[in-house]
Amino acid sequence: MDDAPRSRRHRPPPPAADSGPARRSRGARRTTPGRRPLRSATALAAAISLAALSVLATGCGEESEPAVTPTSSTRAAAPRVVDDLQTAYQDVIEDVLPSVVQIEAGDSLGSGVVYDERGHLITNAHVVDSADSFQITVATGEEPVPAKLVSSYPEQDLAVLKLDRVPTGVKPAVFGDSSQVQVGQIVLAMGSPLGLSGSVTQGIVSAVGRTVTESSSGGGTGATIGNMVQTSAAINPGNSGGALVNLDSRIIGIPTLAATDPDLGNSAAPGIGFAIPASMVKTVADQIITTGRVTDSGRAALGITARTVLDDNYQPSGTAVVDVEKGGPADDAGLKSGDIITRLGSAQITTITSLAEALASESPGDKVVVAYTRGGERRSAQVTLGEI
């Protein structure tokens, strides 16, 4: 007999029976833009570990099988999975970092992405701000290269710069298809958080289709941006304008905002960041590069100027129409100055921000029902939305 452990017996075995072989048992997802002074460089990475469980079964009246000892192939499985993921991360970083730059705009700092071989860079409008000269540091480590502003589009918080010369080793980024972005995808954020150029953080796509309003204080543009990608990858001051990348080395968004928690004094809410989707980035960049400005925003508009109104308890209760653009969508639908808009489509309107967010979810040409009050009387009108 071998030395394998035996199971308990409930009764003595038959005297004439030999021990048979043991049977095998099988184990059976408010905002603050970010810019900071330049510091030193670093990078981060992450890996996943796996574990295996062996099961020892016992049988009634039979010998149990010895505990299964992992073979060399099972011992190698977990490290191989970790190595594969780590290699994937490193390949993406090697592919994309040469397309990510650091932007010094006066005494402020942000990130940018190389858009084409002519040296156009895409970044956030709040990174550019009011600066008129820029110094660009590329991943190859050369001396900073001057760049000029082509145009800024604060309504979508995007801007295009152009390098005076294209350094060796710099290559255009490859942009992905925003419609294919799915919750749960692994992503890496690349940029210069807190001035640490060439930094990489990792996370997942937490949600898609978010509409977020950027603060107008602290250097923000106050833009309301629709269809943003929410991510758990850390986005810190200085990451703005950089790259949010999938494991195919495709840029799926431009990191722009980090959520803040009012209950914590508007400090950053960890793991809640937002990126402008690649489709909008390409739409804006192509128009600026071709014509010098955005001629087709793709953003819906009512054709009014408005302000937030308060009720008797000093709470926001709607958006008052201050002025109506002649021949615009609201004018065509019969809205007048003094009307108070309370709903657009299915969205309740209490502030000018909520109106902007509702419009950001619509497209030019869409027909929506606008509910409003005039002289205390409730009314509604169907409006064919125009374009900003």
Catalytic residues: 126, 157, 240
DSSP 130: T
Of the candidates 321, 316, 289, the one whose C-alpha atom is nearest the C-alpha of residue 305 is 321
List beta partners, residue 268: 260
For every residue of 190-239, DSSP letters joined together read EE-GGG-TTEEEEEEEEEEEEEEE--SSTT----EEEEEEEE-S---TT-
Q: Whose CA is closest to 173, among 132, 219, 218, 120?
A: 120
Report the run of H or E that residue 344 belongs to, with start and end. Answer: strand 340-344
Contacts of 239 (CB under 8 A, 6+ apart): 34, 111, 189, 191, 192, 193, 199, 255, 273
According to DSSP, the residues that pair with 292 across neighbouring strands are none
Report whether 340 contacts 364 (CB < 8 A). Answer: no
How many angstroms separate the CA atoms of 373 and 342, rounded? 8
